[in-house]
Amino acid sequence: MSSIIPSINIFKKEPTKKLRILFVAAEVAPFIKVGGLGEVMHSLPNALRALGHDARVFLPKYATIDTQKFPLRPEVQGIKSLTDDSDPHDLLVSNVLRYEENGQTIAYFLENMEYYEKRANVYGYVDDTTRWVLLSKGVLEFIKVSKWKPDIIVASDWQTGFVPNLLRTDYKNDPVLSKIKVIFCIHNLQFQGLFDHHFVSEMDYDAGRAPIPAFFDPNILKLNGMRRGIMYADLINTVSPTYAKEILNDEFGEKLDDLLKERRSSLFGILNGIDVESFNPQIDSDIVVKYSVKNLDNRSKNKIALQKRFNLALDKNKFIAGIISRMDAQKGFDLIVEISDALMRNIDFQLIILGTGSNYYRGFFQDLQKKYPDRIGCHFFFDNQLPKLILAGADTILVPSRFEPCGLVQMEAMRYGAIPIVRKTGGLADSVENYIPGQDKGTGFIFENYDRYAFLIAFIRASETFRDKKEWIKLMKRAMSKDFSWKKSAEEYTNLFLRALGLQGK
Ligand code: GLC
């Protein structure tokens, strides 16, 4: 575990104490996944279970959860949450359902018709803050009556920042809840509530100290869940050691850097892992031909399949760059837009984009594709299999993020032998090692400054290195041999939990 203060180590492989841990989040795969948070909420609890802990998850029961595939059974009926703290009769009643599969993490779902079941999406409603306050109250009310009580709650991102807040205010005298330690995990500091925190007027500013307003009070929509989570949690974690340092300065701090500095002795950074079972080119049935470091020749068959899939010129020696990403400014799309045409004109390569989000970027790539039809392939909808084929067929994956709390795709890419080109920030800096010719080291190409020239130079370095087949194969082998499994992260989380419980040196 890397932290701002010196970290501690436990040398034993097995945890000293079996912990009960409850993760609360807005999304948890495989039930519902919008982005990286959902993925982490699936893999991390499972990795903790593998270490012997009892880790469970708690999330809303959205209409889109497939109850045929995931049959749910009642766990607790009639969870009562106050909608107005000043009136004990103003209650909202929800139920908790449970999903359990042999050997897997137990999942609890908060059922509420109005706030979750009638909504098709996870995010994007005008009353989102109310929905998340309900989730936060719901989980605490559930723990009060549940037979199973956690030692630790892990709340993630602004949506569940109200859990630490309520736990240390409204619920602070509860005999059960007051004993539970709470960790707030930051996956992305940029999203703090239903407003743009860069432009909050003084009147609307949420300093985090006032009680949470009633559900029907419009002021509830002005709450800053991120600030509150950071203020009230026992410990704060973020998803890479570098991001934990970066958010202490104003470039990355999203106006919370002063608060984070105040809390720096409680702030940690643990790098996410990836699911090395489902991301494994040796056994992956989503790719055309399986391969490993021992039979890398097979990989080029995936490249041909990829070119066919996108109607590109078929050529196993062509350099292919792939992008698998949410298309937004965080992910560095303005840099990609700035250099794409120049790259196309000057370098012989093919480009594949699998992106969701912004119509602006979609339009840009569609226009570019018209210009270079047999060299550019685009897909703008979510797809389960396509990312794997791109990882297995492309030579490089571009991740030029402006900031990146962790980032998962660069690790998935390395596992498949697609060499990432990344900006040196957050988890990208912590997971990719820069290639320097002649040193037999490095797993990717890193650039520092967020500008088009730096990115362009990194791209040229990669495309030139690709021409040296021997060198490129060595690079692929090094990248594919890196261990990004969750086990290591889960051990570091165990340390963090023990620290929160006062069982490891403070
Ligand atoms: C957010 C971050 C991303 C991180 C993911 C999972 O989506 O933007 O960097 O990998 O959360 O922690």
Convert the pLDDT of each residue in 417-443 to its tens digit. 999 999 999 999 999 999 999 999 999
Instruction: Round to whole Å and give the CA distance between 506 and 500.
Output: 9
Burial label for 403, CB within 10 Å (0-12, 13-18, 19+), is: buried
Q: Which atom of ligand 1 is nearest to the CA of 272?
A: 12
Q: How far is the CA of 408 from the centre of ligand 1 (A)?
A: 7
- Residue among 353, 387, 385 nearest 369 (CA): 353
**How confident is the model over 171-227, as pLDDT tens digits?**
999 999 999 999 999 999 999 999 888 888 888 899 999 999 999 999 999 999 999
The best mutation among 239, 331, 425, 486 to test binding of ligand 1, ranked by most ligand atoms within 8 Å of the C-beta, falls on 239
Instruction: Round to whole Å and give the CA distance between 352 and 377.
Output: 5
458 and 492 inside one domain: no
Strand segments (E) across 61-105: 73-82, 91-99
Q: Report helix, strand or coil for 369.
A: helix
pLDDT band at residue 105 using 50, 70 and 90 as cut-offs: confident
267 and 326 inside one domain: no
Which residue's CA is the closest to the ligand 1 atom numbered 1?
187
Q: Report helix, strand or coil for 28.
A: strand
Q: Evaluate if residue 14 carries a pLDDT over 80.
A: no
- Residue among 411, 395, 179 nearest 279 (CA): 411
| DSSP state letter for 179 | G
More confident residue, 54 or 92: 54
Pair of tokens at residue 244? 């934990």
**Residue 505 falls inside a structural domain:** no
493 and 477 inside one domain: no
In the prediction, which pLDDT does 249 show? 97
How many degrees, rounded to 5, is the angle at CA 290 between CA 288 and CA 296? 115
In the prediction, which pLDDT does 4 show? 46
Radius of gyration of the chain (CA): 23
Which residue's CA is the closest to the ligand 1 atom numbered 12?
187
**Residue 75 falls inside a structural domain:** no
**Residue 87 falls inside a structural domain:** no
476 and 494 inside one domain: no
In the prediction, which pLDDT does 338 show? 97
Q: How far is the CA of 38 from the centre of ligand 1 (A)?
A: 9
**Residue 101 falls inside a structural domain:** no
256 and 301 inside one domain: no
**Residue 164 falls inside a structural domain:** yes
266 and 300 inside one domain: no
469 and 492 inside one domain: no
476 and 491 inside one domain: no
467 and 493 inside one domain: no
The best mutation among 39, 270, 272, 401 to test binding of ligand 1, ranked by most ligand atoms within 8 Å of the C-beta, falls on 272
Q: Which atom of ligand 1 is nearest to the CA of 39?
A: 6
In the prediction, which pLDDT does 10 show? 44
CATH number at residue 365: 3.40.50.2000
305 and 401 inside one domain: yes
In the prediction, which pLDDT does 3 show? 47
The best mutation among 23, 33, 34, 37 to test binding of ligand 1, ranked by most ligand atoms within 8 Å of the C-beta, falls on 37
Q: Which atom of ligand 1 is nearest to the CA of 401?
A: 9
- Residue among 187, 137, 186, 145 nearest 162 (CA): 137
pLDDT band at residue 498 using 50, 70 and 90 as cut-offs: very high
Instruction: Round to whole Å and give the CA distance between 7 and 264.
Output: 13
Percentage of the chain beyond pLDDT 70 is 96
Q: How far is the CA of 461 from the centre of ligand 1 (A)?
A: 27
Mean pLDDT for 456-479 is 98
**Residue 355 falls inside a structural domain:** yes
Asked if 226 and 192 count as a contact pair (C-beta separation under 8 A), the reply is yes
356 bridge partner residues: 326
Q: How far is the CA of 278 from the centre of ligand 1 (A)?
A: 18
**Residue 108 falls inside a structural domain:** no
Checking DSSP bridges between strand 267-269 and strand 319-327, what pairing results, if any?
unpaired
Instruction: Round to whole Å and give the CA distance between 22 and 295.
Output: 42
Q: Which atom of ligand 1 is nearest to the CA of 239?
A: 12
Q: Which atom of ligand 1 is nearest to the CA of 187?
A: 11
Mean pLDDT for 457-486 is 97
Side-chain half-sphere exposure of 225, counting CA atoms within 13 A:
32
266 and 342 inside one domain: no
How many degrees, rounded to 5, is the angle at CA 446 between CA 445 and CA 451? 120
**How confident is the model over 399-410, as pLDDT tens digits?**
999 999 999 999
- Residue among 32, 327, 267, 262 nearest 159 (CA): 32
Mean pLDDT for 84-112 is 90
Q: Which atom of ligand 1 is nearest to the CA of 408?
A: 10
- The neighbour count for residue 81, using CB atoms within 10 Å, is 22
C-alpha dihedral sign at 260, 261, 264, 265: negative
Instruction: Round to whole Å and give the CA distance between 332 and 469.
Output: 29
399 bridge partner residues: 422
Query: What is the average pLDDT value for the chain, to the nearest integer?
Result: 94
In the prediction, which pLDDT does 200 show? 86
Mean pLDDT for 102-120 is 91
45 and 185 inside one domain: yes
378 bridge partner residues: 353
Which residue range(s) make up the domain with 411? 296-483
Q: Evaluate if residue 147 carries a pLDDT over 90.
A: yes
Round to the nearest angstrom and report the end-to-end CA distance of the chain: 14
What is the DSSP track for 278-312?
Answer: TS-TTT-TTSSS---GGGGGGHHHHHHHHHHHTTP
Instruction: Round to whole Å and give the CA distance between 498 and 506.
Output: 10
Q: Which residues line ligand 1 (CB under 6 A)?
A: 35-37, 40, 187-188, 239, 272, 404-408, 427
**Residue 382 falls inside a structural domain:** yes
Q: How far is the CA of 178 from the centre of ligand 1 (A)?
A: 30
Task: Name which of 30-39, 197-206, 229-238, 316-325 the model is least confident about.
Answer: 197-206
Alpha helices of 13-150 — where are they, by DSSP H?
36-50, 128-145
Which residue's CA is the closest to the ligand 1 atom numbered 5?
36
Those residues with Cβ within 8 angstroms of residue 165's Cβ, 6 or more apart along the chain or in another chain: 136, 208, 212, 228, 229, 231, 232
Q: How many domains does the chain have?
A: 2
